[in-house]
Amino acid sequence: MTTNGDYQRLVADREELLRSLLLRVLSKRALKTVKMRGRILVNQIERTVRHPLRVGDVVELYYPDERAESQVEPWYFPLHIVYEDEAFLVVNKPAGMASIPNRRYPNYTLANALTGYYEMQGIPSKVHLVSRLDKQTSGLLLVAKNRRMHHLVMGQVSRRYVFLVEGQMEGQGTLMLPIASVAGTTQRIIDCAGKQAITHYRVLSQQGPHTLVEASLETGRTHQIRVHFAHLGHPLVGDRLYGKAHPYFQGQALHSYYLCFKHPLTQKTLRFEAWPYWLKGDKPSR
């Protein structure tokens, strides 16, 4: 298999319909996009997805230009870019910035800022956030520069968080507490009828009346860390929704400090760290 941002070459290793091969490397949504606005060739001849393949057939996919698809307004905000290549960006998002536009925050989001950056850099793509963070959560996010890279890296990204909680905690553990939404609000609660949510954590240090904790998630439920630790009686410092406000933080003291993924083009494992400004003393060892 050969791939870049707008082209991919595959070689059939079995007899099957073209559609079956494509659905092993593409999501249904991505395949629909290529069918509607791109090109699919077999042995240099344009074919439909119902075409029968033979072993050794060469399949070429040409992805459409994404520039015309973006409906996000550009915002020319100076981003903190930790890493960039032809396929991905790693961005350190500040607290106070929503990841994507929504009814409450229609503009001035990370997606708006990335759209502005793409425009200035001549990058022919819409924004593909591989992962997201709450508005008041800071830290590392992975951004794919096209839908193909987005699909290839989905489910392959590892992240770790550091955060401050109220009160004193010790040790480490795993929280397996189902989370459900509260109708008509953004709040989440622990509820046996909710979706499974698994958080692995360990205490790093005591920070005065607070505790510094590291966590990784097996599931990515909305507000997962915030809800789990509030349920334990240790809400995150500054969390106005599940705890109480703090004069030093505009929101919860929660930061995505570590990001790791296997690059689908180079097959190299890339690791990045970015620590929050509020972390006191030496950086904890992992």
Q: Which residues are catalytic?
A: 134
Diameter of the chain by CA atoms?
69
Q: Which residues of 35-63 are buried (b: 16+ CB within 10 A; e: fewer)?
A: eeebebebeeeebeeeeebeeebebbbeb
Collapsing DSSP to helix, strand or coil, 117 comes out as: helix
Phi first, then psi: give them for residue 204, nearest 5 degrees. -100, -45
Residue 58, token pair as written in the block: 């060469």
Scanning the chain, the segments in alpha helix (DSSP H) are 18-25, 28-37, 110-121, 147-153, 224-231
